[in-house]
Amino acid sequence: MIEAHTLKQISTLYREIRRFFDQQDFIEVHTPIMTPIPGMEPHLTPFETTLTTPLDNKQYPVYLNTSPELQMKRLLGAGLEKIYNITKVFRDYELGGGRHNPEFTMLEWYRQKADYFDLMTDCENLITTLLPHSNPNPKIDFTTPWDRATTQELFHQYCDIDLNQNQTFEKISQTAIFKNLDIAGCQDWDDIFFKIFLNHIEPHLGINKPIFIYEYPATQAALSKKSTKNTFFAERFELYIDRQEIANAFSELIDPDEQTQRLKEEQELRKSLNKRVFPIDEQFIASLKSIKHPSAGIALGIDRLFMVLLNKLKIEEVILFPMDQLLKENFNNQ
């Protein structure tokens, strides 16, 4: 159980987060947690339940959101320019290791007339305003500007691999084997990217200062826009603090055709992974056409941010009644 002292700090942090956005004229929105079409992210597994309508007893499959991003982008299409949302999201198969709870809290904010670099500045400003209410590990220097590095630079720095020259599975496999890097079990280009990233790069990230990792390979672009100078990469960044991913942000893809194409590919990928395939959300695609300006959006894991700000080692230390505790209490799990 979290101590009263920590709960009070968490309560203050929520208030300060809302104050930060309210002062910049963001509108706080509340999107549904339960929806017929959850996100299409190939590697996420939503919780499924059944909705029954009264009188006719008709049944519909509905899901708990893995992220509110589809609804947030629909709101951009409806003409809202600056919005934020603090909501619960749910992901099955994510439990344990001190960094995952299947139910967690996401802070998302979206801006029109902005790109992902503007969101890096937002992150610096937001977290800086939270510091007086926090007690992070003193070894982390939060003085802005924070570090920035592209994935291309990091692979070069830590593994001497030029991602640009290794754009195919065959090529990067050969390079990795030549450099004696472990790629066992990897089935595609992204697997190799992640295995090398997790083994050789992530352990160094953000230890003394927060760092923005940007320009991710376009194969992991999700809802982000491809980079204009090199389409192998996408305008996406992740914020790392003390080796932990805190946030994931995009310059938003607002081209409906490219988005439809990508969702089709993700449907195929889900099928090949034996995961449930969801229909393409046509309302979402239609709304992209009405987004007037280039836009950027970000999802920040609030519980992980609180771990950093309150110097806690496990996510269970900032979440009330975390699932591992509930499982132990109710199912006698060891």
Partner 1 sequence: MATTTNITQGLAVKYKNQDWIVSFAQFVNPGKGAAFTRAKLKNLKTGQVVENTFRSGESIETIDVVRNKCQYLYNDSSDFYFMDNETFEQFALSADIIGDQKDFLLDNTECYSLYIDGTPMSIQLPPKMTFTVISTPPGVKGDTATGGSKEAIIDSGATIKVPLFIKEGERIIVNTEDRSYVSKDNS
Q: Does 209 bind partner 1 (CB under 8 A)?
A: no
CB 198 → partner 1: shortest distance, Å?
A: 4
CB 176 → partner 1: shortest distance, Å?
A: 13
In the range 8-47, which residues lie near partner 1 by CB under 8 A? 9, 41, 43-44
Region of 272 please: left (phi>0), alpha (psi -120 to 50) or beta. alpha
Number of chain positions touching partner 1 (CB under 8 A): 40
DSSP symbol at 227 = P
* Residue selected from 37, 80, 82, 94 as contacting partner 1 according to rule CB under 8 A: 94
* Residue selected from 216, 237, 240, 306 as contacting partner 1 according to rule CB under 8 A: 216
Q: Does 132 bind partner 1 (CB under 8 A)?
A: no
- Give the torsion sign (CA, 124, 7, 138, 97): negative
Residue 215: exposed, middle, or buried by beta-carbon count in 10 A (0-12, 13-18, 19+)? buried
Q: Does 84 bind partner 1 (CB under 8 A)?
A: no
CB 80 → partner 1: shortest distance, Å?
A: 26
Return the C-alpha torsion angle 94, 95, 100, 104, nearest 10. Answer: 80
Q: Are 225 and 251 in contact (CB under 8 A)?
A: yes
In the range 240-279, which residues lie near partner 1 by CB under 8 A? 245, 248
In the range 142-201, which residues lie near partner 1 by CB under 8 A? 182, 184-187, 190-191, 193-195, 197-199
Q: Specify the 3-state DSSP secondary structure of 326.
A: helix
Which of residues 77 and 308 has its CB atom nearest to partner 1 in the complex? Answer: 308
Rounded to whole angstroms, the Cα distance separating 47 from 103 reads: 10
CA 78 remoteness from chain centre: 23
Q: Does 214 bind partner 1 (CB under 8 A)?
A: no
Residue 9's closest CA among 310, 273, 321?
A: 310
Q: Does 3 bind partner 1 (CB under 8 A)?
A: yes
DSSP for 53-113, please give it: -TTT--EEEEEE-S-SHHHHHHHHHTT--EEEEEEEEE-BT--BTTTB-SEEEEEEEEEES
CB 86 → partner 1: shortest distance, Å?
A: 19
* Residue selected from 35, 47, 80, 99 as contacting partner 1 according to rule CB under 8 A: 99
CA 159 remoteness from chain centre: 25
CB 156 → partner 1: shortest distance, Å?
A: 20
- Sites of contact with partner 1 (CB under 8 A): 3, 5-6, 9, 41, 43-44, 93-100, 135, 182, 184-187, 190-191, 193-195, 197-199, 203, 216, 220, 222, 245, 248, 310-314
